[in-house]
Amino acid sequence: MRSSTTSGPNPAGEKQFVIGRFPGFAATSWIFLLYLYIPIFLLIIFSFNASHSATIWHGFSLEWYLKAFGNDDVQRAAVNSLIVAFIATVVATVVAVFAALILARGGRFRGRGLSYGILMLPMTMPEIVTAVATLSFFTAIKLDIGLGRVVIAHTVFCIPFAFLPIRARLQGMDTTLEQAAQDLYANEWQTFRYVTLPLLMPGIISGAMLSFIISIDDFIITLMVAPAGSTTLPLYIYGMVRMGVTPEVNALSTVMLAISLVFVSTSYLIGRKKQAGTANQ
């Protein structure tokens, strides 16, 4: 985020002086990136393997993708994942917009710091603690609403992920356009609807997308709170992985990686456009 707003140390100086340079740093960085990506690439490559073995290459095939998509359990799990992610994202994003408007624009007031702390709580708490606490709570109040439990738990931890990009966007926005609108006799609602909201949109989309992947990918909390019959994709994959390594898992995992990649890239590109926009002002 910060990288393109500060243009960095003068690029000309960087080439002339070797002073900022340390031996081995470049090698470490490239080895690090290889370490980060080689396992993922191997997973993707072997998902197209023609053999039943998940780890010896025999030739290209889409067999495992067809098999995974044709599996009824996978389809059910995928539908569950999408339902949960969709509801959690919508609710989390809507409440995050209002919270961000108050915290970024509402001036100083008592309890502001505390409110921020509570909003960030799901992000700072170790997932396993949230998971067992939520399970205990649902059990204590005897809340037995199937997939609804998963939806509630996901909504909670999606809120901070939706909130942060929206707040960042609000902080980078100046209020001149809104003032201009009010000078032109727009009432408060009109100002919000036709000025603030469109300007805020990139932050909202970014936050919603991040919430969506965080929800689609969640495993630990879902594992604890999901009752039998409410399996999501990560739970299904976990079950399969524990049974052993099969190429079907590779195919499913690759699909999930692709989904995450598309969402993060889109969110990133929207974020970059936003920075270009503020830089021009």
Binding to another protein, residues 183-242 (CB under 8 A): 210, 213-214, 217, 219-220, 223-224, 234, 237-238, 241
Quick one: which of 33, 64, 32, 71 has its CA closest to 48? 64
Q: Which of 51, 71, 182, 260 binds another protein (CB under 8 A)?
A: 260
Between 128 and 201, name the residue whose CB sits nearer to another protein.
Answer: 128
Rounded-to-integer distance, Cα 60 and Cα 276, Å: 42
- Residue 277, interface with another protein (CB under 8 A)? no
Q: What angle do CA 209, 214, 218 make, to 5 degrees?
A: 150
60 forms bridges with which residues in the sheet? Answer: 49
Sign of CA dihedral 156, 157, 160, 161: negative
- Residue 262, interface with another protein (CB under 8 A)? no
- Residue 6, interface with another protein (CB under 8 A)? yes
- Residue 261, interface with another protein (CB under 8 A)? yes
- Residue 107, interface with another protein (CB under 8 A)? yes
Least Cβ distance, residue 142 to another protein (angstroms):
10
Count of residues binding another protein (CB under 8 A)? Answer: 97
Sign of CA dihedral 199, 204, 209, 214: positive
How many whole angstroms from its chain centre is CA 6?
Answer: 25
Interacting positions 59-78 with another protein (CB under 8 A): none
Q: Which of 133, 145, 197, 279 binds another protein (CB under 8 A)?
A: 133
Q: Which of 87, 249, 251, 270 binds another protein (CB under 8 A)?
A: 249
- Give helix then strand counts, H and E, for the chain: 13, 0
Rounded-to-integer distance, Cα 219 and Cα 203, Å: 26
Least Cβ distance, residue 17 to another protein (angstroms):
7
